Amino acid sequence: DKTVSLRKDLSEMHEWITQAEEEYLERDFEYKTPDELQKAVEELKRAKEEAMQKEVKVKLITDSVNNFIAKAPPAAHEALKKELDVLITSYQRLCNRLNGKCKTLEEVWACWRELLSYLDAENKWLNEIETKLKATENIQGGAEEISESLDSLERLMRHPEDNRNQIRELAQTLTDGGILDELINEKLEKFNTQWEELRQEAVRRQKSLEQSIQSAQETDKTLRLIQESLGVIDKQLTAYSADRVDAAQVPQEAQ
């Protein structure tokens, strides 16, 4: 009869809700790779959409039960009404939990992608430092040229800490939740090691360039003094030559 049919619809819907809860909400999930995390996000999106589509089914059952109650004897009302109320409550709770978990995982995925983008930006900066350090290994030239290289290196090293702070915060957020913790720790260890090695090398190179500048300045000063001295001697010799003075008649230095 109609009561049996309605109870069957209610039971089937309850079974689907229970199965969805066990499949997507009660299981313990571990996300050790980006693929696992992305797959979980996609699965929850599908589950959320499927649950939303079931709203039509729940509405049909609700209408059917209410129509039956309106026509059936009062004795049949209470049990069916109670089952319907339980179904509606369970369905709404399932949708809310799926929406909440889906939103959380989408935020986690966005957090992971943001972490990667910051790491990519900082690694590009580290590569620039490495290239700059190689370019200044055996730099040749005068004090001015060496000074320009030093200024360029110092400007590069005045890189803001914002990105590194973001990397630390995003990584902490993810690893605190046990998400991609091994992978993130591996990436951070590699990044921090490279950063510290290049920082130390940059400090050594700055000191070396400062010493090279000082040495080049001393060399430039010596050359200027020699040039000035040669200029004076050249004028003296030119004067001697113009006066047809014999070499034996001039000071030893001029000879």
Find the CATH number of the domain harbouring 187: 1.20.58.60
pTM of the model: 0.77
Per-residue pLDDT at 251? 63
Q: Give the pLDDT of residue 246.
A: 65
Q: What pLDDT was estimated at residue 213?
A: 86
Instruction: Answer yes or no: are the C-beta atoms of 166 and 188 closer than 8 Å.
Output: no
Q: What is the pLDDT of residue 121?
A: 95
Question: Where in the sequence is the domain holding 206, given as residue range(s)?
Answer: 2-212
Evaluate whether residue 16 is within a structural domain: yes
- Look at residue 236 and tell me if it is in a domain: no
Token pair 């809310």 is found at: 96
Q: Give SS3 for 158.
A: coil
Per-residue pLDDT at 255: 56
pLDDT at residue number 27: 72
Residues of the chain with pLDDT under 50: none
Tokens in use for 189? 């260890």
pLDDT tens-digit readout, 166-175: 999 999 999 9
Residue 48, pLDDT score: 94
Q: How far apart are CA 149 and CA 222, in angstroms?
A: 23
pLDDT for the residue numbered 247: 63
Residue 71 located in a structural domain: yes
The total domain count for the chain is: 1
Q: Is residue 113 helix, strand or coil?
A: helix
What pLDDT digit, counting tens, does each position of 7-39 carry?
899 999 999 999 999 999 887 677 889 999 999
* Placement of tokens 């690893």 in the chain: 175
**Domain presence at residue 59:** yes
Distance CA 33, CA 225 (A): 68
pLDDT computed for residue 113 by the predictor: 96
CA angle 162-166-172, nearest 5°? 150
